Amino acid sequence: MNKNPQVLHADFTLSYHYDIYFTKYLFSKDNPLIRTFFEKSDTKGHIPKILFMIDQGVIDHHPNLKKEISVYFQSVSNVQLIEDIFVFPGGEIVKNETQHLDKMLEIIDQYGIDRHSIVAAIGGGALLDAAGYAAAISHRGVQHIRIPTTVLSQNDSGIGVKNGVNYFNKKNYLGSFSPPQSVWIDQHFLTTLEERDLRSGISEAVKVALIRDAEFFRWLEKNSTRLALFEEEAMQYQIKECARLHLNHITGSGDPFERGSARPLDFGHWAAHKLEDLTNYSIRHGEAVAIGIALDSTYSYLMGSISEEEINRILQLFQILGFEIFHDALMKDDCAPLFEGLNEFREHLGGRLTITLLEGIGKGVEVHEIDNDKMKKALRRLSHHTQYHEN
């Protein structure tokens, strides 16, 4: 009798490649980007379909967009436009209410969108997340193109490999790692954003600078007044630099699909995700991230990992940019709901609790335990700091 186990080994590597294009007036007849993209595409004799899903907020501010898309694609070869263009609510509602995901799946099926076809999503990060997830689970993977329209989605969420919706009242409980076929960033969409949405995305630039690039953080400090006024040149620089740093991590970390427990790009996010839930998503994601970063930076200071000068620089930058750095909901019921967020964060990642903190501006560090008393002290310090500056 052969007691040695018989084993077959499967070992293969998949190569992913996609380009992120920066442009203006994407659907203007004079802009060759989309035409050139499809002219260069190898369709292998198959003419793919492209189906658009658009954020309602984008349509509200760009009411002629559907017509512009229809007219533009009359001059695009190698792809067939689905003339019906579908609009979904933007913001977390599109991720929270499952009927929107169901509708997306029905549309993909109804119009015969197959693995060689494309779902193109235009909107903020939430709409891109939901549409990308619908594409990823249809036919085990329909290609998708992202056209992010907010600062946050252009410099962070819209350029990466993650898709998902919220479930069981948990952020991104259902999701996939499905890289887009391409990302098209049109800076013109930013011109119609509310100030809150323009500001919100800058928090992700502060985040990636704090954990990855001290020089970029100094640039943010130097240009903080220009960014607070949303000057176009400064905004475009921070978007591109933030996107570059995020992509460097995704492509160079050795863990693009987050198989490990560490997730440094989620610095400040464990508290931010819980704060969004505690405020019933009345607070923008980027606003919550700013508060989460301020909290974890203050905790880092109290643990002796960064200096008083460094924590003061961080908090001052957020305040010059116009962010709130504290919210009363964090201290609800003696912080019990907030600390539930730590466990939810661990469950989402799997394995050990792994939180990114700071050991200097431009240098993140992973820790596996949080001192709850010190975290409460960090909250009180932020609360007092806010009250002092308001007075």
CATH number of the domain to which 227 belongs: 1.20.1090.10
The whole-number average pLDDT for the span 93-122 is: 96
Question: Is 355 part of any domain?
Answer: yes
Both 291 and 352 in a single domain?
A: yes
Alpha helices (H) along the chain: 33-39, 56-61, 65-72, 93-96, 98-110, 125-137, 151-155, 195-200, 202-212, 214-222, 224-228, 232-252, 269-278, 285-302, 308-321, 336-349, 372-390
Question: Is 13 part of any domain?
Answer: no
CA–CA distance, 347 with 383 (Å, rounded to integer)? 29
The whole-number average pLDDT for the span 238-252 is: 91
Domain count along the chain:
2
Question: Is 4 part of any domain?
Answer: no
- Check pLDDT > 90 for residue 305: yes
Model-wide pTM > 0.85: yes
Q: Tell which of 173, 192, 211 closes a domain.
A: 192
CA–CA distance, 365 with 297 (Å, rounded to integer)? 12
Both 31 and 174 in a single domain?
A: yes
Question: Is 256 part of any domain?
Answer: yes
Taking CA atoms, 86 is separated from 11, 110, 156, 246, 325, in Å, by 41, 13, 24, 30, 37
Both 257 and 337 in a single domain?
A: yes
Q: Tell which of 192, 227, 252 closes a domain.
A: 192
Q: Which amino acid is at 274?
A: K
Both 181 and 259 in a single domain?
A: no
Both 200 and 180 in a single domain?
A: no
CA–CA distance, 33 with 44 (Å, rounded to integer)? 21
What is the model's pLDDT at position 257? 75
What is the model's pLDDT at position 390? 57
Structural domain harbouring 211: 195-390
pLDDT tier, 346 (very low <50, low <70, confident <90, very high otherwise): confident
What is the model's pLDDT at position 267? 93
Model pLDDT for residues 115-136, shown as the tens digit of each residue? 999 999 999 999 999 999 999 9
Both 94 and 206 in a single domain?
A: no
Q: Tell which of 192, 214, 240 closes a domain.
A: 192
Question: Is 134 part of any domain?
Answer: yes
Higher per-residue confidence, 343 vs 225? 225
Both 183 and 330 in a single domain?
A: no
- Check pLDDT > 60 for residue 193: yes
CA–CA distance, 98 with 286 (Å, rounded to integer)? 23
Both 100 and 240 in a single domain?
A: no
Both 292 and 162 in a single domain?
A: no
- Going by C-alpha positions, the residue among 77, 143, 92, 137 that lies closest to residue 116 is 143
Question: Is 74 part of any domain?
Answer: yes
Question: Is 120 part of any domain?
Answer: yes
Task: Say which CATH number the domain at 54 has.
Answer: 3.40.50.1970
The whole-number average pLDDT for the span 233-240 is: 97
Taking CA atoms, 178 is separated from 22, 128, 224, 304, 350, in Å, by 21, 12, 34, 39, 19
What is the model's pLDDT at position 42? 72
Both 173 and 226 in a single domain?
A: no
Question: Is 95 part of any domain?
Answer: yes
Higher per-residue confidence, 249 vs 241? 241
Residue showing tokens 């549409």 = 131
CA–CA distance, 95 with 166 (Å, rounded to integer)? 5
Would the CA dihedral through 42, 254, 267, 98 be positive or negative?
positive
What is the model's pLDDT at position 40? 87
Both 360 and 235 in a single domain?
A: yes
CA–CA distance, 104 with 94 (Å, rounded to integer)? 10
Both 126 and 218 in a single domain?
A: no
